[in-house]
Chain A
Amino acid sequence: MKKILCFFTTLGISLLGFSQELNLGEVHGDFNLNLQSYQEDKLIGAKAADEIILNNAYLNLNYLKGNFATGIRYESYLNALADYDPDFKGNGIPYMYATYNIDGLEVTAGNYYEQLGSGLIFRSYEEKGLGIDNAMDGVRVKYSPLKGIYLKSFIGKSRTYFTYADGIFRGADGELNINDVFNLKSKTKAIIGGSFISRYQKRENVMFKIPQNVAAYASRLNIIRGNWSYYSEFAYKLNDPANLLNKSKMNYAPGSALTNNISFSKKGFGLSAEIHRIDNMTFKSDRDRNGKAYIINYIPTLSKPHSYALLAMYPYATQSDGEIAIQVDLFLKFKKGSMLGGKYGTKLDLNYSRMNALSGDYGKSFLNDEVDYTPIPLCFAQERYFQDMNLEINKKINKKIKTTCIIANQTYNKDFIEGKPTGDYGVINSTILVADISYKIKNGHSIRTELQRLGSIQLESAKKLAEGDWSMGLLEYTISPNWFFQIQDMYNWGNEDVNKQLHYVNINAGFMKGANRFEVGYGKKREGIFCVGGVCKTVPSSNGFNLSITSSF
């Protein structure tokens, strides 16, 4: 026994010397911890947690050697943060995979993430901040026989919390880069693609003939010529009635989605315009279940994701049951030395988006007519769900001062978007102003301040009192590359209910070094909708201490 151990030790030492020649592979990963304490605050409606402290943590480990990779993710919810679904509970390894890559063929067994086209019919992804992880469990094969031809096919079940949803998914996708395949030297480039997905779920309803296999398909086209770029995708979903004895849910209508984007850009100028029409495109991994954990496709929201607090106070979420939306973006950069550019140049971003109910005639859409309907394509109904107009100007004043100013006007149909009874809150129109100024004190030391104001009016008479006007102030001090300190206050001074004219103060500090980042904070958070990358979730009010650690190796 001793001999064997001696052998291994010697082998180890000699390997250490030869490690460059003898490639044993690499281990890498990342770690993430979020801890929050919950104290009661009756005024803001924050509830204390029985556990006092709630905690989410993840550790990813990946092993790589040449064309082979394998890895796991350990997840711990003891218990899950209050804004997570309580079904995330306990510890486990819900994610593990092995994959290899040889001569254009990639084979994956275990868990994987996948997206077909822009995700209209299928997207499996993770967005940890929002509690989304619908990773697939099964096998996937990707093959590229020639440059410009990309094929993939997979089979699997979709993750929900620590288990898998009932539906079995079979998917395939093909993409053809025409210029690469035919070796064309044309100025115009074209890529075409098609995808197919089918869900099998056993029929258990004896009264209705519910389809056991539900298919959806999509085709896409991407054309690029010089400064121009065009993308179009059309998706179709076969009938998929929810298994409920409820007229509006027992709909055998098919679904469809059409999206079109065109953009033109050159040095200092960019323009992008997009339109989409979505009709009955909710696609789930289990027809009998509700909730975001069961959504298996992704309909992008056609509005700009805002990062300033008051701009994001009333965010829109796509209505996958039916909407028609447009968005236009304009990016400009005025050169240094020009009249508008000044000494350092000026940047300007203009964005407009609008979402309306489907079809010209109110009452002719999937949502209102459960048996048969013929919506009129490309026609806006009068009912507006959301509208956002905003202008952002970025200007460097001198070597020390940089500013960002934003003016925005948003219309938010609160009753509809948040599913409240009609007339409760009505439609809210708000005008928001943001000024963000940073000042460089000396090498590595900077101070930044944000001043924001939101003035709002309810467009119709509402039963509930309005939150009204808000102001927000933020002060941040950073020392590169290691430290940041921040204090912010959101003040709802315009609330019609005088008892709710509250301050939401938060203090945060962070330390960063290389691949590690630590952040601590204390304060009150407002109840509201939190959106990242187009998906939103409702966050409860909270009051307490938080700690977060992220690390990568």
Chain B
Amino acid sequence: MNKKTLFSFLAITLFTTIIFAQERALPNKEVKTLDGSNFNITDIENDGNPIVISFWATWCKPCKKELNNIAEVYEDWQDETAVKLIAISIDDSRSMMRVKPYVNASDWEYEIYLDPNSDLKRAMGVSTVPHTFLLNGENKIVWQHQGYVDGDENKLYEQIKKIAN
């Protein structure tokens, strides 16, 4: 490797480090509310408190397990950290109509959005559900996790507590 290539290599490495070193923002994508309105995901807010974004579907058993297990402790989480959970359903037009009755019957207190053609899912690099992101008070992604097994909600909560005000 001569000096020239070495220097260019260093320069490129530095440049990419800068890009990667940045905290990650949400992509500029529209989702649907349960009322059928359009909503830009960058508009979510929680008064500077942490936000959890969880991708799920009505046909995904581990997803429902995760959200039902969190529902049992959600009130405590909110009291202690003021966290807000946003559940994004990737159900397409086959099962999309089932989302609202399922959510209401399950008595979830989460904010729910629909992503029926997976536009947001793709933009956020989600390949399988469940996939959970944790956002800090500036809506930057600081942590993420793929899949769900029993007890994972405790690990998520440890991360939430780290960034809670």
Interface, chain A (partner B; CB < 8 A): 1-2, 5-6, 8-9, 12-13, 15-16, 19-20, 23-30, 32, 60, 62, 64, 67, 69, 101, 113-115, 118-119, 123, 125-126, 128, 144, 150, 177, 180, 189, 191, 222, 224, 227, 229, 231, 261, 263-272, 274, 298, 300-302, 304-307, 329, 331-333, 347, 438, 440, 443-446, 448, 478-481, 484, 510, 512, 514-517, 533-534, 550, 552-553
In the complex, chain B residues whose CB is within 8 Å of the CB of A19: 18, 21-22
Distance in Å: Cβ of B36 to nearest Cβ of chain A: 5
Pair A268/B151 contact, Cβ less than 8 Å? no
Complex Cα gap A264–B98 (Å):
11
Q: A8-B11, A347-B105 are in contact. List 13 more A-B contacts (CB 8 A).
A: A12-B15, A64-B25, A67-B28, A115-B117, A144-B38, A222-B36, A270-B100, A305-B94, A307-B61, A480-B154, A481-B145, A512-B147, A515-B145
Q: Is B81 an interface residue (CB 8 A)?
A: no
- Pick from A16, A69, A479, A517: contact of B146, CB under 8 Å: A517
Complex Cα gap A270–B35 (Å):
16
Pair A64/B27 contact, Cβ less than 8 Å? yes
- Pick from B19, B25, B103, B106: contact of A24, CB under 8 Å: B19
Pair A191/B94 contact, Cβ less than 8 Å? no
In the complex, chain B residues whose CB is within 8 Å of the CB of A101: 28
Complex Cα gap A67–B40 (Å):
13
Residue of B nearest to A394 (CB): B68
Query: What are 26 residue pairs bridging A and B, where the CB atoms are less than 8 Å apart in the complex?
Result: A1-B4, A5-B8, A8-B7, A15-B18, A26-B22, A27-B19, A29-B125, A30-B126, A32-B127, A69-B123, A113-B118, A150-B38, A261-B97, A265-B100, A265-B101, A270-B100, A270-B102, A270-B104, A274-B97, A347-B106, A438-B150, A443-B154, A480-B149, A534-B95, A550-B128, A553-B125
- Counted as pairs of residues, one from A and one from B, with CB atoms less than 8 Å apart, the total is 219
Distance in Å: Cβ of B128 to nearest Cβ of chain A: 6
A16 with B104: in contact, given A27-B19, A123-B117, A305-B94 (CB under 8 Å)? Answer: no
In the complex, chain A residues whose CB is within 8 Å of the CB of B84: none
In the complex, chain A residues whose CB is within 8 Å of the CB of B93: 115, 118-119, 298, 300
Pair A267/B104 contact, Cβ less than 8 Å? yes
- Which residues in window 33-61 of B have CB below 8 A to A? 35-38, 59-61
- Pick from A62, A191, A263, A512: contact of B101, CB under 8 Å: A263
- Pick from B105, B143, B152: contact of A331, CB under 8 Å: B105
Interface residues on B, range: 35 or more
A517 with B147: in contact, given A69-B27, A263-B101 (CB under 8 Å)? Answer: yes
A305 with B97: in contact, given A64-B27, A191-B36 (CB under 8 Å)? Answer: no
Interface, chain B (partner A; CB < 8 A): 3-4, 7-8, 10-11, 14-22, 24-25, 27-28, 35-38, 59-61, 92-98, 100-107, 116-119, 122-128, 131, 143-147, 149-152, 154-155
In the complex, chain A residues whose CB is within 8 Å of the CB of B146: 512, 514-517, 550, 552
A26 with B19: in contact, given A9-B14, A180-B37, A440-B150 (CB under 8 Å)? Answer: yes
In the complex, chain B residues whose CB is within 8 Å of the CB of A510: 147
In the complex, chain B residues whose CB is within 8 Å of the CB of A300: 92-95
In the complex, chain A residues whose CB is within 8 Å of the CB of B18: 12, 15-16, 19, 24
Complex Cα gap A294–B136 (Å):
43
Q: Is the interface of A mostly helix, strand, loop or mixed?
A: strand
A30 with B105: in contact, given A484-B149, A515-B146 (CB under 8 Å)? Answer: no
A25 with B19: in contact, given A64-B25, A478-B150 (CB under 8 Å)? Answer: yes
A125 with B35: in contact, given A512-B145, A550-B146, A553-B125 (CB under 8 Å)? Answer: no
Pair A16/B22 contact, Cβ less than 8 Å? no
Distance in Å: Cβ of A351 to nearest Cβ of chain B: 9
Pair B59/A26 contact, Cβ less than 8 Å? no
Distance in Å: Cβ of B59 to nearest Cβ of chain A: 4
Complex Cα gap A217–B150 (Å):
47
A446 with B149: in contact, given A16-B21, A267-B107, A272-B97 (CB under 8 Å)? Answer: yes
Complex Cα gap A123–B122 (Å):
16
In the complex, chain A residues whose CB is within 8 Å of the CB of B95: 300, 304-305, 533-534
Distance in Å: Cβ of A219 to nearest Cβ of chain B: 15
In the complex, chain A residues whose CB is within 8 Å of the CB of B104: 227, 265-270
Pair A307/B59 contact, Cβ less than 8 Å? yes
Pair A481/B151 contact, Cβ less than 8 Å? yes
In the complex, chain B residues whose CB is within 8 Å of the CB of A6: 7
A9 with B105: in contact, given A69-B28, A300-B94 (CB under 8 Å)? Answer: no
In the complex, chain B residues whose CB is within 8 Å of the CB of A270: 100-105
Complex Cα gap A267–B104 (Å):
5
Residue of B nearest to A12 (CB): B14
Residue of B nearest to A63 (CB): B19
- Pick from B19, B98, B118, B126: contact of A125, CB under 8 Å: B118
